[in-house]
Structure 1
Amino acid sequence: MRALFPRLGADFSKLWTASAVSNIGDGITMAAGPLLVASITTDPAAVAGAVFAQQLPWLLFALISGAWADRLDRRRLVVTVNLIRAAALITLVAAVSCDLVTVPLIYAVFFVLGTGETLADTASSAFVPALVPPDRLPTANAWLGATFTVLHQFAAKPLGAWLFVVAAAAPFGANALSYAASAALIAGIGTLPPPEPRPHRSLRTDIAEGVRWLWGHRLLRTLAVTMAFGNMIFCAAFAIFVLYAFERLGLGRVGYGLLLTAFALGGLAGSVAAPALLRTVSATVLLRGGLAVEVALHATLAATRTVWVAAAMIVVFSIHATVWGNAVMTLRQRSVPSAVYGRVSSVYALLDLGGAAVGSLLGGAVAQAYGLTATFWTAAGGMGVVLVLAWRPLSSARAAFLQRV
């Protein structure tokens, strides 16, 4: 591993390996979870409820988790949370093996997994700027992004479905092992700084400080609000994407699955291209251009009935989304002090998921009232407004990206 990351350090290699292992485990459970619920009930609402149970903690606890991530030893927090998640999955494995599993038990386990995710993801997001020199952050983020794309989106989901067919408990046991292995790897990282001493204050005061810090930074505030509206608009359109693929593009289930791989292909390409792009192209140009790509995505999908055109546009969008994510993550890592990093990241997460949740509800309503293509035309118009409003504030991105902290 040291040879693979000669300029990123041995501790980053441990972090990357931990991320790779947990990405495989999470992807396995993401595929196997709905299959487990569907083996108990055919109620679509019950199947969808398992996904919601894992997402709900982000809406409930994101800000609180950010405050705890800044108060506690982050390494110890991530290790503890991963072991708790492993224990929750072992409980599910036992229930499945003994034929005692129920839908409420699945919801409870997935809620524990989601709650742990709010803590572990928020705390571990501060690891990279602590382990990697500022000029190597785009490369480190690209490695982590590519790992997520290849292992979580490509490899783990088919593996999870196959394991479920072999033995219903197997995928959840595999994920439990992944959390245990990830905990061991994180525990072995030796150069993470201890938490900065701070006076004892209420959680509300800590959360308010993180919100104020983000809101007082003009560029990061612009990016956070842009992301919230962008996610709302994207999820409004893509909440009905499966129906769009069937009715507009004429695809079946297999074709729909293949079309989804366009997102992963673009994400992988974006991960590979991001470090070079961020070295050679102004961050302002990349961010503004990315918003224009989002307008083009929705307009293209609204106008076309050709599968390859839709797939090509999705690849381009996914390249943009990955580069955008790398740029924003690097900006945040270079701009936000370590003492408030967890809280600022949690505000970002709340805006991201809050926008996505609202968008999913709006998209279904628009499609039901006006048709599938109306949803994408509305999304194109909405992103056009976002592009116009964000254009001028994004002018400071180039200077902020070059900042060293």
Structure 2
Amino acid sequence: MSSLGELIAPRRLGKDFRWLLSSSWTSNIGDGIALSAAPLLIASLTPSPLLVAAGAMMQYLPWLLFGLFAGAIADHHDRRMLVMIADGSRAVVVLALVVFLVTGHATVWIVLATTFLYGVAEVFADTAGSTLLPMLVKPVDLGVGNARMQAGFLVGNQLAGPPIGAFLFAVGSFWPFLTQILCVSLGVILISRIARTEVPPRDPLPEGVKPHPIREGLRWLRAHPPVRTLVIVILVFNVTWAAPWSILVLYATEHLGMGPVGFGTLTTASALGGIVATFSFGWLERHVRFATLMRVCLSLEVLMHLSFALTTSGAVALVIMFGFGAYAFIWGTISTTVRQRLVPLHLQGRIASVNMVGVFGGLVIGQLLGGVIAETWGLTAPWWFAFGGALITLIAVWRSISNIAAAKPVIDEDPAV
């Protein structure tokens, strides 16, 4: 393997990991294309801000409705096959949208329905997909594996995909979605090359306890403080993060005076920071304790909110956003790695789904709060809310972070590598 290939997908992680990584990166490019094309399509079909906002909400609603159920399904079936079926369903849904666009029969309601159905399939695909990595690599390699998966998200979903989607939409409304179908379909082919993933054996239940997949996962989570605390932290920090992010476009254009292009560069700066962090994660994992990294990341989150509340400079905001992208990538990789190491294989789907429900639930709550706070007290008020909430949370969990990072991994059979 070439030195570049070894850097991207180390040989020790195995051939199946390379198939998983290739599938994830390809699918993320398709999703990134839709990330910009879908709002443009909705805006071209309706002038209603409410319907435009509904398009974004359709991405979150399926997680709140089906997230826990998807986790239970993933823990009781062949996870590789579930990803293939769910991604295949996504391709079919988008294909139907393309037909409506080509024939000129697309309406905003058809687009919203398509977005919802696509989101439902994505819930099952992402939940099952998140359980594959712990089955394919050794626990010691989960950090590197997650870093490579996150890098694909940053490059494909955040950097490359959106501008490609906007360009293709300018050529013709159906072109970005046709390209998305090709990317998702290729992802299905790539993941099909992974060896069949067996359903992990379940732990025996106590006598007299009736099996219930979702309750079983919640019971396990309630009895394991490190993972439970980690999920709560992610929920709360997503509430505080989403509050100012919900009005970021207004903050950037009106408060900072950056204009539409400047607003776009803020998100680009965040993605660039994350990409830079991918190259440093391996070194950090070897030389810095996870507990220290987690505390630094959460502390930087608090300082970021304070800095945004105080600054009036677009240039300073770009620097802050670059730093945010870097530490947010490191935090996301560490939190995922720690959770995957601590959760038994047969519960990976359910615990991952609880985590994702917390993520998207926090986003919905935070967005609602951010709009109300900004409407009442001004565009910097959500940043002050985020600063105070994040600071209180950090103080509350500061000591618990050591217990989370030091918790012993579960002992499962070694994954095939």
Which TM-score band (shorter chain)? over 0.9
Offset of 1:198 from its aligned partner?
A: 8.4
Matched residue type, 2:380: T
Alignment equivalent of 2:66, drawn from 61, 64, 86: 61
Per-residue displacement from partner, 1:158-206 (whole Å, max 9, x unpaired)?
1011111112111111111122111111111015333437899x99921
Per-residue displacement from partner, 1:77-120 (whole Å, max 9, x unpaired)?
11111111111111111110000111111111111111011111
Aligned to 2:415: none
User: Deviation above 4 Å: which 4+ runs of structure 1?
Assistant: 197-200, 401-405
Per-residue displacement from partner, 1:335-371 (whole Å, max 9, x unpaired)?
1111111000010011111111001000111111111
Contact 2:78 2:197 in 1 (8 A): no
Offset of 1:301 from its aligned partner?
A: 0.6
Aligned to 1:300: 307
1:348 aligns with 2:355: yes
Alignment equivalent of 1:275, drawn from 276, 282, 302: 282
Alignment equivalent of 1:382, drawn from 389, 410, 417: 389
Offset of 1:271 from its aligned partner?
A: 2.1
Aligned to 1:83: 88
Counterpart CA distance in 2 for 1:196 and 1:115 is: 27
Offset of 1:305 from its aligned partner?
A: 0.9
Offset of 1:230 from its aligned partner?
A: 0.4
Moved more, 268-277 or 96-105: 268-277
Counterpart CA distance in 2 for 1:194 and 1:214 is: 20
Aligned residues: 404
Alignment equivalent of 2:104, drawn from 86, 95, 99: 99
Alignment equivalent of 1:123, drawn from 128, 135, 153: 128
Aligned to 1:186: 191
Counterpart CA distance in 1 for 2:256 and 2:127 is: 39
Q: 1:234 to 1:133 in 2, by over 3 A?
A: same
Alignment equivalent of 1:32, drawn from 12, 33, 37: 37
Counterpart CA distance in 2 for 1:404 and 1:297 is: 38
Per-residue displacement from partner, 1:52-78 (whole Å, max 9, x unpaired)?
122210111100111111111111111
1:395 aligns with 2:375: no
Alignment equivalent of 1:255, drawn from 253, 262, 277: 262
Backbone CA RMSD of aligned residues:
2.0
Per-residue displacement from partner, 1:371-400 (whole Å, max 9, x unpaired)?
112221121111110011001111113423
Counterpart CA distance in 2 for 1:404 and 1:237 is: 41
Aligned to 1:330: 337
1:49 aligns with 2:46: no
Contact 2:277 2:329 in 1 (8 A): yes
Q: 1:382 to 1:204 in 2, by over 3 A?
A: farther
Matched residue type, 1:237: P
Per-residue displacement from partner, 1:107-139 (whole Å, max 9, x unpaired)?
111111110111111111111111112221111
1:360 aligns with 2:331: no
1:10-25 alignment, distance < 5 Å:
10-25=15-30
Helix, strand or coil at the partner of 1:91 = helix
Q: 1:298 to 1:119 in 2, by over 3 A?
A: same
Matched residue type, 2:164: L
Contact 1:263 1:314 in 2 (8 A): yes
Offset of 1:321 from its aligned partner?
A: 1.0
TM-score (ref. length: structure 1):
0.95
Counterpart CA distance in 2 for 1:279 and 1:77 is: 34
Aligned to 1:213: 220
Aligned to 2:376: 369
Counterpart CA distance in 2 for 1:62 and 1:257 is: 31
Offset of 1:275 from its aligned partner?
A: 2.3
Alignment equivalent of 1:313, drawn from 317, 320, 325: 320
Q: Gapped runs of 5+ residues in structure 1?
A: none
Matched residue type, 1:127: L
Contact 2:151 2:275 in 1 (8 A): yes
Helix, strand or coil at the partner of 1:171 = helix
Counterpart CA distance in 2 for 1:401 and 1:163 is: 48
Aligned to 2:297: 290
Contact 1:74 1:124 in 2 (8 A): yes
Alignment equivalent of 2:139, drawn from 134, 138, 146: 134
Matched residue type, 2:275: L
Offset of 1:140 from its aligned partner?
A: 1.0
Q: Gapped runs of 5+ residues in structure 2?
A: 413-417
